[in-house]
A and B are shown apart, each in its own frame.
Chain A
Amino acid sequence: MSTGTATLADYQRRTFTNRLGLWLFIASDAFVFIGLFAARFYLYGANFRPELSQEVGLVVTAVLGISSYFAYRGEVAMRFGDTKAYFRSTLITIVLGILFLIGVVGVEWQIAPFGPDHDALWSLFYTMTGFHAFHVLTGVIFLGIVYRNARKGLYDAERHWPVEAAAIYWHFIDVVWFFFYPALYLIGVPPL
Chain B
Amino acid sequence: MLILLVALTIGEYFIGKYAPYWWAPLLAVALLKAFFVVRDFMHIGRVFAGEEEEVH
Give the CA-CA distance A62 to B47 in the complex, in Å: 28
Q: Chain A: interface secondary structure?
A: helix
- State the Cβ distance, B9 to closest chain A Cβ, in Å: 6
From B6, B34, B47, B51, contact of A179 by CB (8 A)? B34
Q: Are A54's CB and B16's CB within 8 A?
A: yes
Give the CA-CA distance A145 to B10 in the complex, in Å: 33
- State the Cβ distance, A154 to closest chain B Cβ, in Å: 20
Asked whether any CB of chain B lies closer than 8 Å to the CB of A89, the reply is no
Q: Chain B: interface secondary structure?
A: helix
From B9, B17, B37, contact of A175 by CB (8 A)? B37
Asked whether any CB of chain B lies closer than 8 Å to the CB of A23, the reply is yes
Q: Are A46's CB and B41's CB within 8 A?
A: no
A153-188 near B? 1/0 per residue, CB < 8 Å:
000000000000001100110110011011001111
Q: Give residues of chain A (40-84) contacting chain B, Cβ–Cβ below 8 Å.
A: 46-47, 49, 54, 58, 61-62, 65-66, 68-69, 71-72
Q: Give residues of chain B (1-52) contacting chain A, Cβ–Cβ below 8 Å.
A: 1-2, 5-6, 9-10, 12-13, 15-17, 20-21, 23, 26-27, 29-30, 33-34, 37-38, 40-44, 46-47, 51
Q: Return the 8 tightest CB-CB contacts between A and B, nearest first.
A: A186-B16, A46-B23, A182-B26, A16-B54, A72-B41, A69-B2, A178-B30, A171-B41
A residues neighboring B (CB under 8 Å) = 9, 12-13, 15-16, 19-20, 23, 46-47, 49, 54, 58, 61-62, 65-66, 68-69, 71-72, 167-168, 171-172, 174-175, 178-179, 181-182, 185-189
19 contacts between A and B (CB under 8 A): A9-B55, A12-B54, A16-B51, A19-B46, A49-B20, A58-B10, A62-B6, A65-B6, A68-B37, A68-B41, A69-B1, A168-B42, A168-B43, A171-B38, A171-B41, A171-B42, A179-B34, A186-B26, A187-B23
